[in-house]
Amino acid sequence: MKKFFLLAGMLLLLAACAENKSSDTGSSYQITGKVIYMADNFKSAKICVDANNNGLADDTYCTETAVDGSYSFISNDSITNYPLAASITTVNNAVNAKLNNGEILMYAPKGKADVISIETTLIKSIMEQNSTKTYDMANTEVTALIKKADNKTLFTVYTNALNNADIQNWETSIRGIVGAVTNKLLESTEITADTIITVTQEEVDNINNIIKEEDNKEPENPGTEPATPLEKVTYLFNNAIIKADINNPIDLIAFHEPKLDEPHNKIFGINKDTFGTWQYEEMNPAGVDFMLATAVKYKEEYWDPNTTSKLIASDGYGGYNGLGYLFYYEDEENICSVGQYKSIFYKLMYNVPLEEATQICDYRDYPENATEEELNAFINEVTSCFYNAFKNEKIYFEKYYYTIDTTQLDECNQSLTPLEKVTKMLAGAEIKNSAENPVNLNEHLDPANNNVYPNGIVTRLAIKNDTFGDFLNINLTRNFTGYDSFLERYGYKEENFPSNSELGFEVTHAGSPLNYYEFSNYPYKRSQQPTGMIDEDNICIAGNVSGIFYKSIMDEDILRNEFIPKMEACNNSTDCFTDLLYVYYKNNIFKLEKWYWTIDTSLLEECK
């Protein structure tokens, strides 16, 4: 029987990692974090849970920071429901005569208590002006803003704007002032330390009215609204505290724990450190598919898997000896068929002692043989139970984005042919010159190393050793451009590669001790006709040729002490060598740079 209590873990995280319920006080929260102050005149800061929501550090539960900006205090008001406000005192108290003799205000939004900085201040302001915006959404806007100016510049412009705001009543206007400054920063096309932002009383009043309307949109009693299981789950998820953002998800491949894999290939094991530690290891349901995927049909529109196979996270503590997490794939027998998959993992946490946690919502069986009506009633009952436990701050959830590409697993790579492996490698190469702006080899010739026959025919043009940037490993003589070992043998072909000339020109690295590059048709032709000379060895007839050069980079010590011995052990087996390179490339030990090049041999002095 499937235990329904496992459903809860996929619901959501509310309390930040900086807030933990104190088990011996019964109703208090330990809040810890640090103020990131970007100027040199920091003296101290007063940190408060802003339960009265006025934007000032004047509430009941407060503390003073240490000299390094760190803070730790107990509050009966949870940061799940309220932001933090920091009133910062500077060494020069005359810096701001507008508000409390030198006060600078910064914030952390609801659910985020571990850092107070210029970024969290702007994020909080964005979110309170539009209650539909999640932390992620606001963070994306601030991240784009930081591309215009660094954090210190933003902080300087922000504090100067507060200092110079000509507002009649600071105490009732501060949220509007911060909102107006935030909006003007977002609208600015260029921001420097000298940027001046001014706000008017009318602008501030307008922002305050918007904030007031948004505040009123928040449900006063979330236990009565919404009603359906989907609405309740959605409400919970919208308040999740996110531990990994969409742009930087957790790569499950890096956390694979083969000890947890099942022989029948239905369970993929993940290391226990992947999603952080549990508050109570003895009782940590991580949620499977029932409520979200099957019963409530919950789906986050921006994080939808690109696969037909379900990959569902579940906690692996207890029955699996604390090794980690389990990912189930129900639709396909083979984990490799899952392919690339992106989803969200919700980890259930507790704000109550373990004895009480085990009694939440009854640890009972899911009614597998129930009628649809009985099933819906059961879903409603249990969802409501977890919803109320969440509302009453007995439980909270952590939200982790994760990604996995099962084709990258060793057991899945075995099904790839050498050509498919080479193709995957080249597709991941870092492009150093675009196809529209290639390296012009005519400008990088090194005639001293040209290969010229006695009759004057040029069969090889030498290219200067800095043509494609610094070559990190000058002794890597077997460069990936290896025409005979990889690309030509496996029939790999990109547009204009190895060249758009029928003579088959390409660029190779000459290797140590010469350390330059060669542009030639001779090695290619020799690999096809090794018995002797061939026609059209004159490089001048190539004309205008374009191509692609792949430059390999590897740490010198790894190359000498590890890679070369393994390469020699392949005994000239191309398949073995390809597999070796692919594993090194997948693990980011071996890297490829892709350079586009062009040359017109008809313009060379030798050819005129």
Identify the pLDDT of residue 599: 92
Which residue, 217, 239, 261, sits at the end of a domain?
217
Tell me, yes or no, whether 17 lies in a domain.
no
What Å distances lie between residue 353 and 49, 395, 487, CA to CA?
Answer: 24, 11, 62
Tell me, yes or no, whether 145 lies in a domain.
yes
Same domain, yes or no, for 334 and 449?
Answer: no
Which residue, 408, 435, 464, sits at the end of a domain?
408
Contact 274, 217 (CB under 8 A): no
Tell me, yes or no, whether 495 lies in a domain.
yes
Same domain, yes or no, for 149 and 200?
Answer: yes
Number of domains in the chain: 3
Q: Which of 5, 13, 16 is nearest to 400 (CA)?
A: 13
Same domain, yes or no, for 442 and 392?
Answer: no
Contact 151, 257 (CB under 8 A): no
Identify the pLDDT of residue 598: 93
Identify the pLDDT of residue 182: 93
What Å distances lie between residue 356 and 282, 360, 385, 502, CA to CA?
Answer: 13, 7, 14, 77
Tell me, yes or no, whether 273 lies in a domain.
yes
- H-type alpha helices, 299-445: 354-357, 372-391, 410-413, 418-427
Identify the pLDDT of residue 443: 92
Which domain range does residue 351 map to? 4-10+224-408
Length of the chain: 608
What Å distances lie between residue 412 and 331, 415, 577, CA to CA?
Answer: 17, 6, 18
CA 538 centroid distance within chain: 51
Identify the pLDDT of residue 330: 66
Same domain, yes or no, for 64 and 213?
Answer: yes
Same domain, yes or no, for 248 and 357?
Answer: yes
**CB proximity list for 378: less than 8 A, separation 6 or greater:** 4, 366, 367, 370
Same domain, yes or no, for 438 and 585?
Answer: yes
Identify the pLDDT of residue 288: 34
CA distance 235 to 84: 22
Same domain, yes or no, for 175 and 299?
Answer: no
Which residue, 408, 443, 458, sits at the end of a domain?
408
Same domain, yes or no, for 404 and 437?
Answer: no
Contact 284, 10 (CB under 8 A): no
Residue 134 β-bridge partners:
none
Same domain, yes or no, for 398 and 347?
Answer: yes
Same domain, yes or no, for 192 and 320?
Answer: no
Instruction: Please give the model's pTM, rounded to 2 decimal places.
Output: 0.43
Tell me, yes or no, whether 308 lies in a domain.
yes
Same domain, yes or no, for 425 and 550?
Answer: yes
Average pLDDT along the chain, 608 residues, taken 10 residues at a time: 32 32 50 83 84 86 88 82 84 47 79 87 92 80 83 87 79 87 89 88 90 71 55 72 83 85 74 73 44 56 62 52 70 75 79 77 66 77 77 80 83 79 82 90 89 82 84 49 54 72 76 73 55 61 86 80 86 81 80 88 84
Identify the pLDDT of residue 95: 41
Tell me, yes or no, whether 382 lies in a domain.
yes
Q: Which of 288, 282, 284 is nearest to 267 (CA)?
A: 288
Contact 9, 286 (CB under 8 A): yes
Identify the pLDDT of residue 285: 43
Identify the pLDDT of residue 532: 43
Task: DSSP letter for 131, please.
Answer: T
Tell me, yes or no, whether 413 lies in a domain.
no
Same domain, yes or no, for 581 and 517?
Answer: yes
Tell me, yes or no, whether 523 lies in a domain.
yes
CA distance 21 to 102: 34
Burial string for 465-490 (b: 16+ CB within 10 Å, else e) reads bebbeebebbebebbbbbbebbbbbb
Contact 112, 79 (CB under 8 A): yes
